[in-house]
């Protein structure tokens, strides 16, 4: 981690305070008040950027989720900027106060416990209301677990859907996976270690046996990215027991030759002429790689004359 005294100063130009410091997109930081979103490390203090350190040092106030967590980071960097709490439980009360300070000329930094604020962390409404009030908003970007997991997964990274935390209960979880299933892109979810195997099972049941990656303890001592088909990952974690630490799940898009809905209906219609719903679903599921549960549900609909 760079020593605070060695960090290059955050120039006005860096913050868009001089002509040419930003494009014409309307988000330049003018003189006066500003909301500054600051990304912090996700496990390795060395990942804080020089700009983030300067931004935190120069701020009039740092709004943080947990002052113990952010206090530790600031102490490490020798920064003594005042901290105020901004978390799910006090956000509605704190927002007008913070926006008022910015409107009065203060530079308010927003950090979360780790990573990029707003990414499954507080901040979205603060930014929304700051923008609506015509206040300056900028960002000192940096680490974010879903992006690091995607980059390391070995799965297509050109298009992806970040779907946040998977719900804890299986029925809601399958619903959330089902919603994401239709997108022909790589999927990214947050999950906890104790629920990993159950969630991998639901992912396989809804999506079929797609390629996936479990990214764990990123940037930390025991960083690990395990790649494989969902079935292989399930077998591994069943055998090894639940892993420790923080986890991002990345699941590849459906195979390009995966059967379309029309193909599926045609195959099922053919099979249903000579087979029971159960057998037709099993046969078509095996032929297409589509999850049995999904094919069975569609077979039932077709069997009932559904469109």
Nearer to ligand SAM, 220 or 292 (CB): 220
- Could you give the dihedral angle defined by the CA atoms of residues 19, 22, 27 and 30, in that order, rounded to the nearest 10 degrees? -30
H-type alpha helices, the chain: 50-58, 67-77, 91-103, 124-132, 145-153, 170-181, 196-207, 230-240, 261-272, 277-288, 292-303
- Rounded to whole angstroms, the Cα distance separating 191 from 184 reads 21
User: What character string, x for contact with ligand SAM (CB under 6 A) and - otherwise, covers 238-267?
Assistant: --------xxx-------------------
Rounded to 10°, the helix 261-272/292-303 angle is 60
DSSP, residue by residue, 275-297: S-HHHHHHHHHHHH---HHHHHH
Nearest approach, Cβ of residue 72 and ligand SAM (Å): 16
Under the binding rule (CB under 6 A), the answer on residue 187 touching ligand SAM is: no
Candidates 45-53, 94-102, 168-176, 213-221: pick the segment binding ligand SAM (CB under 6 A).
213-221
Nearer to ligand SAM, 195 or 290 (CB): 195
Candidates 84-92, 216-224, 231-239, 250-258: pick the segment binding ligand SAM (CB under 6 A).
216-224
Rounded to 10°, the helix 91-103/124-132 angle is 40
Q: Are 238 and 212 in contact (CB under 8 A)?
A: no
Nearer to ligand SAM, 58 or 246 (CB): 246
Under the binding rule (CB under 6 A), the answer on residue 217 touching ligand SAM is: yes
Nearer to ligand SAM, 136 or 144 (CB): 144
Nearer to ligand SAM, 202 or 217 (CB): 217
Nearer to ligand SAM, 156 or 245 (CB): 245
Residue from the set 16, 43, 208, 211 that interacts with ligand SAM by CB under 6 A: 43
Under the binding rule (CB under 6 A), the answer on residue 42 touching ligand SAM is: yes
Cβ–Cβ contacts within 10 Å for residue 244, how many? 11
By CB under 6 A, the residues from 99 to 138 that bind ligand SAM are 112, 114-116, 119-121
Q: How many residues bind ligand SAM (CB under 6 A)?
A: 21
Residue from the set 73, 126, 145, 187 that interacts with ligand SAM by CB under 6 A: 145
Question: Nearest-CB residue to ligand SAM?
Answer: 115
Rounded to 10°, the helix 50-58/67-77 angle is 110
Rounded to 10°, the helix 170-181/196-207 angle is 40
Question: Reduced to 3 states, what is the DSSP secondary structure of residue 53?
Answer: helix
Nearest approach, Cβ of residue 61 and ligand SAM (Å): 20
Query: Strand 34-38 vs strand 137-140: parallel, antiparallel, or unpaired?
Result: parallel
Nearest approach, Cβ of residue 223 and ligand SAM (Å): 7
Nearest approach, Cβ of residue 117 and ligand SAM (Å): 7
> What residues make contact with ligand SAM under the rule CB under 6 A?
42-43, 112, 114-116, 119-121, 144-145, 190, 215-220, 246-248
């Amino acid at each position: 981690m760079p020593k605070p005294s060695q960090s290059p100063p955050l120039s006005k130009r860096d913050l868009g305070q001089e002509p040419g410091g930003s494009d014409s997109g309307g988000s330049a930081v003018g003189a006066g008040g500003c909301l500054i979103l600051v990304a912090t490390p996700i496990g390795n203090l060395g990942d804080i950027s020089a700009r983030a350190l300067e931004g935190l040092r120069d701020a009039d106030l740092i709004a943080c989720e947990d002052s113990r967590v952010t206090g530790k980071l600031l102490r490490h960097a020798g920064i003594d900027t005042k901290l105020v709490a901004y978390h799910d439980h006090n956000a509605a009360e704190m927002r007008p106060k913070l926006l008022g300070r910015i409107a009065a000329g203060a530079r308010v930094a927003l950090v979360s416990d780790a990573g990029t604020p707003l990414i499954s962390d507080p901040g979205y409404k603060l930014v929304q209301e700051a923008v609506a009030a015509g206040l300056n908003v900028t960002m000192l970007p940096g680490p974010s677990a879903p992006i690091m997991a995607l980059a390391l997964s070995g799965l297509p990274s050109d298009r992806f859907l970040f779907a946040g935390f998977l719900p804890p209960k299986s029925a809601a979880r399958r619903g959330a996976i089902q919603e994401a299933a239709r997108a022909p892109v790589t999927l990214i979810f947050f999950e906890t270690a104790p629920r990993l195997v159950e969630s991998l099972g639901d992912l396989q049941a809804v999506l079929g046996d797609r390629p996936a990656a479990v990214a764990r303890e990123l940037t930390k001592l025991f960083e690990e990215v395990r790649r494989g088909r969902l079935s292989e990952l399930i077998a591994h974690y069943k055998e090894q027991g639940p892993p420790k630490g923080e986890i991002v799940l990345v699941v590849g898009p459906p195979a390009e030759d995966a059967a379309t809905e029309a193909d599926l209906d045609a195959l099922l219609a053919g099979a249903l002429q000579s087979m029971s719903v159960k057998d037709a679903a099993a046969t078509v599921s095996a032929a297409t790689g589509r999850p049995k549960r999904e094919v069975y549900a569609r077979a039932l609909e077709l069997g009932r004359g559904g469109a």
